[in-house]
Each structure stands twice: as structure tokens, then as C-alpha cells.
Amino acid sequence: MKSRQHAQEEPAPEAGWAVSVSRAASEDVRELLRADQRRRRGRWFAGGLVVLAVGAVVTLLIRSSLFAPVTGDPVATVPAPVRSTAQFDLANPFDSTPAADWANGVAGITTPPAEAVGGFSAVQVAEATGLARDALAASRIDPRLLTEHDPAGYLGLLAPDARRQLEPLFAEGNEPDVQSLVSMVAPGSELLPAEPKVSGSMSVRTGDPDELVVHTNYVFAYAFRPNGPMKLMDAMTVIVVVRADVDYVLRSGDRWTQDSRGLWFGAASGFGYSIGCDAYRKGFLAPVAAEPSVTARSGDREPGAFFDPSAPLPAAGGCRG
């Protein structure tokens, strides 16, 4: 039976983008790609201290776009978003932040109890949540992708058809197209040896026929090495926070071809907080300390809210285009 691959329609305001895929892709996939060239993928907004990423990733093809400018934001030296009263400790960089007590690395990616959902057994649910956990670890924590920019481990977890569609977007210069799904450290920036701090949760629901959707909602905090000595400086000048709300979809059953069975990426949204705008426009993570000046924005939210995975996503960002 030929696979029918359904995309979740979402209006987009700007002209499209182009990406080439293998001739081995099915006619359904090529049709979706041609349609996607006429649409822009949701907007990613960036603010000097608050970077908003409002990207949508369709079930078969990731959608994202360049930053949209936000008027009225003066360029200024970054104010400290979270005040530190103790000397910054290179060995314990998160101590003066809301992430201090979070789990380290993969230990923070928890999965719900394996229970039957719809027509899917508890075993299938456990498989789906396990794959989603592995995908988050490979895309946000594993040094192979985070610092070396090698997507092989992450792509290897996806269904063959999903992998063929996503792989071209990892070509040099296309990094903004995948930043809703992965975290990559900017060239020239260096993480401290401390593991990223992670907090959040995942839930499971049925999707279209023969689809099990795992919604993941996690916040990742990364500690970067300072370029110079830090005494009584705010830790947030070298810590970057990424909120990622991503759906992963497990497809199984005769409705799908063999190469379409497995893990797919779905809708994605999120934001970056306390981050260098220039790097983020290019699809990378860098601390605010890496840039001499960024767009400052007087926000209406407490800084701690950006560490809360249950908090509503910000409505706008402030990096100038």
C-alpha cells in the first residue's frame, strides 16, 4: 500500500524557501515539498534577553523562518535578567539560576508511565516515549550534534522517509531551518564541562490513524565558558535557555510503507532566552556575553518564567532584523 503522508496545514505569511531532496522520495513527498515552497514556515522572533521562536514543523516537513524585526527596540548593552549575589563558579555555573536544582542532561528527560492509549498498547507507548526521549537527547544534549554539528545520531532515530526529508536542512547555511528541532553551539563559542540542565515533561495522545503523538515540553539550560574573568557578574551573561515544545509521531501499521514507519517530527514551537541574537539568526546558540550589544527589551514577565516549561510561550520577541 502506498504511503499517504498528511501535513498539518498552518497559514504562513511570507514567501517560501527551497530545499532539494532525493529522487527516491515518493510523489506524495515531492508534492508536499513543492507546496511548501509557496509557504513560509512560522516566524522565529529573537530578543536580546528573550528570543521567541514561533516555528511550526509539519508532520512530514519542518517549517521555520528567519527572524522578523520588531520595531521600537533600542540597541543597548544587555541588562542582567537574573541577579546573582555570589561569585560566578565555573564548576557550578547554574548555582545562582532557577535551573540550579534541575537534573543533569538526559536524566531530566522523563517519560510518562507506559499505558495503553487508543488502539496502541502499553508496549507501543513505551516504544514511542523512549524514541522521543532519545530524539531529545540526540538533538539537544549529545555533543555530536550540540558542539560538533553532526546530525547522524539524531537522524538515525527517524523513519527513513523522515530522515531523507530532514537531512538536506543540515547543510551549511541551512541551520535556521532546523533550530526548532535541534540545538547547535555557535562556532567560536564553547560550553563549560557542566552538563546542560533539563526540566519538563511529555504526554501521549493518538493522532491520525496509525499515529501515536508524543508531545514533549522541556527547557534546556546551557552554560558557556566566559571569554574573560567573571567576578561578581551575573551568571545569565553566559547561560542560554532554550524552551522546546515538539511533537514526535510514531507511525506504524499497513497504512504506511516500510520506509515511512517509525519516528517522525511534528509541530514545534519554543523560544531562546538570554541569547546572542546574531548567532541565533544563523541557527546557533551563543551567550549574550559573546556579543558587544544586542537588542534590549523591557519585558512584562519575570525572568524566572522563562525557566518554567508550563508557562505560556511569549507573544513577541525583540531582535531587530
- Tens-digit pLDDT profile for the chain (321 aa)? 444 444 333 333 322 222 222 333 333 333 333 333 333 332 233 333 333 332 323 332 333 332 222 222 323 333 334 444 445 788 899 998 999 999 999 999 999 999 999 989 999 999 999 999 999 999 999 999 999 999 999 999 999 999 999 999 999 899 999 999 999 999 999 999 999 999 999 999 999 999 999 999 999 999 999 886 655 467 888 999 999 999 999 999 999 999 999 999 999 988 888 889 899 989 999 998 887 654 444 455 566 778 878 777 766 554 544
For residue 129, which of 263, 310, 252 has the smallest C-alpha distance?
A: 263
**What is the Cα–Cα distance from 98 to 102, expressed in whole angstroms?**
8
Which of helix, strand or coil describes residue 52?
Answer: strand
**What is the Cα–Cα distance from 96 to 38, expressed in whole angstroms?**
46
Cell of 61: 516537513
pLDDT given at position 230: 59
**What is the Cα–Cα distance from 54 to 275, expressed in whole angstroms?**
16
CB 290 within 8 A of CB 279: yes
CB 60 within 8 A of CB 162: yes
How big is the chain by its Cα radius of gyration, in Å? 19
Interacting residues of 162 by C-beta distance below 8 A, sequence separation 6+: 60, 260, 262, 263, 264, 265
CB 263 within 8 A of CB 157: yes
Give the Cα-Cα-Cα angle 223, 226, 232 (nearest 5 degrees): 95
CB 168 within 8 A of CB 19: yes
pLDDT given at position 114: 93
Interacting residues of 19 by C-beta distance below 8 A, sequence separation 6+: 33, 168, 169, 174, 177
Distance of CA 70 to the CA centre of its chain: 22
The DSSP annotation for 187-239 comes to: TT--B-SSPPEEEEEEEEEE-STTEEEEEEEEEEEEEBPPSS--SS--GGGSE
pLDDT given at position 234: 77
For residue 58, which of 267, 212, 270 has the smallest C-alpha distance?
A: 267
pLDDT given at position 77: 32
pTM over 0.75, yes/no: no
Cell of 114: 507506559
pLDDT given at position 235: 83
CB 171 within 8 A of CB 69: no
**What is the Cα–Cα distance from 52 to 57, expressed in whole angstroms?**
15
Strand ranges inside the chain, DSSP E: 50-53, 75-76, 103-104, 197-206, 211-223, 239-251, 262-273, 294-295
